[in-house]
Amino acid sequence: MTVKHFLTLNDLSLEQLTRILKRAMEVKTERATGQVSNSMQNRVLGMIFEKASTRTRVAFEAAMAQCAGHAIFLAPDNTQLGRGEPIEDTARVLSRMVDIIMLRTFEHSKIEAFAQYAQVPVINALTDRFHPCQLLADLQTFEEHRGSIRGAKVAWIGDGNNMCHSYMNASRIFGFHLNIACPKGYAPDADICELNQDSITLTENAIEAASGADLVVTDVWASMGDEAETLERQRAFKPFQVNQQLMQQANKDALFMHCLPAHRGEEVTADVIDGPQSVVWDEAENRLHSQKALLEFLIQY
The catalytic residue positions are 104, 131, 134, 219, 259, 287
d(CA 279, CA 281): 6
Segment lying near ligand CP (by CB under 6 A), choices 52-60, 62-70, 106-114, 197-205 = 52-60
Neighbour order of strands in the sheet with 70-74: 70-74, 44-49, 100-104, 122-124
- Window 240-259: residues binding ligand CP (CB under 6 A): 259
**Any contact of residue 56 with ligand CP (CB under 6 A)?**
yes
- The item of ligand NVA, ligand CP, none sharing an interface with residue 161, based on CB under 5 to 8 Å by kind, is ligand NVA
CA angle, residues 191, 193, 196, in degrees to nearest 5 = 110
Of 136, 115, 167, the C-alpha closest to 4 is 115
Binding site for ligand NVA (CB under 6 A): 126, 131, 161-163, 219-220, 223-224, 259
- Window 101-140: residues binding ligand CP (CB under 6 A): 126, 134
If you compute the radius of gyration of the chain from its CA atoms, what whole number of angstroms results? 19
Segment lying near ligand CP (by CB under 6 A), choices 49-57, 73-81, 86-94, 183-191 = 49-57
- Window 133-192: residues binding ligand CP (CB under 6 A): 134
Q: How far is the CB of 119 from ligand CP (least distance, A)?
A: 26
Question: Ramachandran region of residue 243, left (φ > 0), alpha (ψ -120 to 50) or beta?
Answer: beta
- The item of ligand CP, ligand NVA, none sharing an interface with residue 54, based on CB under 5 to 8 Å by kind, is ligand CP
Segment lying near ligand CP (by CB under 6 A), choices 19-27, 48-56, 172-180, 208-216 = 48-56
- The item of ligand CP, ligand NVA, none sharing an interface with residue 163, based on CB under 5 to 8 Å by kind, is ligand NVA
**Any contact of residue 260 with ligand CP (CB under 6 A)?**
yes
Residue from the set 5, 28, 43, 55 that interacts with ligand CP by CB under 6 A: 55
- The item of ligand CP, ligand NVA, none sharing an interface with residue 242, based on CB under 5 to 8 Å by kind, is none
**Any contact of residue 53 with ligand CP (CB under 6 A)?**
yes
Q: Which residues bind ligand CP (CB under 6 A)?
A: 53-56, 126, 134, 259-260
